Amino acid sequence: MDTSFTGSVFLGMSVDGFIARLDGDLSWLTGDAEVGGAPDDGAGGDFGFAEFVSGIDALVMGRATYDVIAPMATWPYQGKPVHVLSTTLAADADPRISVHRSFDEAVAALSAAGYRRVYVDGGRTVHAFLSAGLISDLTLSRVPVLIGTGHTPFGELPADVALEHERTHVFPGGMVQTAYRVRREA
C-alpha cells in the first residue's frame, strides 16, 4: 500500500500486553498507583506523551478509543487533525474529528492530506496498520501490573514484524518505556 505518511504508535499497557480490560476499563492504567494504576514518575510527568504528540501531523484512532477520549475535560490533541474509524459514528458527530467508514478510506484521506507522521491509536486500529505494514515505530509503556485478560493491539499478523530497539527508560514508579523502529527488509 503506497502512502505518503508513516504511522507511529504510543501505547500504555500492562506487563502482560493489554491496553484495556475487556469492558474497556483503564483504571489500572490511569488511576492511583497504590491501587494498580499508572505509576507516578516522581514529577507528575506525562512520560513523554506531549513531546511525542508535538512530533506528529495527525492522529487516527478507532471508535472505542475515541469514545474514551471524547468526554475528557481537555481535548489532548489541540491543533492536530483527528481521524476516527467508525461505521456507526455520524460524520458530523464532533467538529474536532473526521470520520472514516473503512480502513482504506482513512488511509486514502491521511495520504491525500499530505501528512508525514501519523499517530495510530487504539487496539484494532494499531493492529490494522501493523498488518498493512504502515507502522514505522512503536513506543510501548509497560505499567507494572498484570491484568490477566483484555484488549491487545497485537495478535495474528500476516507476517512477523521485525523490530529494532532504540531506547528503554525506567521511570521511578516502575513503568518501563521502550521505543522500537520497525525494520524494513532491504
- Summarize pLDDT for 16-61 with one digit per residue, the tens: 999 999 998 888 887 644 444 555 554 546 788 889 999 999 999 9
Cβ count near 56 (within 10 Å): 21
**160 lies in some domain:** yes
pTM: 0.89
Please tell me the total count of domains within the chain: 1
Domain of residue 41, CATH code: 3.40.430.10
Q: What is the pLDDT of residue 104?
A: 96
State the pLDDT at residue 4. Answer: 82
Residue 1 in any domain: the answer is no
* 94-121 pLDDT per residue, tens: 999 999 999 999 999 999 999 999 999 9
Round the average pLDDT of the chain to a whole number and report it.
Answer: 89
C-alpha cell at 140: 510501548
Residue 22 forms part of a structural domain? yes
Q: Residue 136: give the domain boundaries.
A: 6-182
The answer to whether residue 137 is domain-embedded is yes
* Residue 161 domain-assigned (yes or no): yes
128 inside domain = yes
Q: How much of the chain exceeds pLDDT 70, in percent?
A: 90
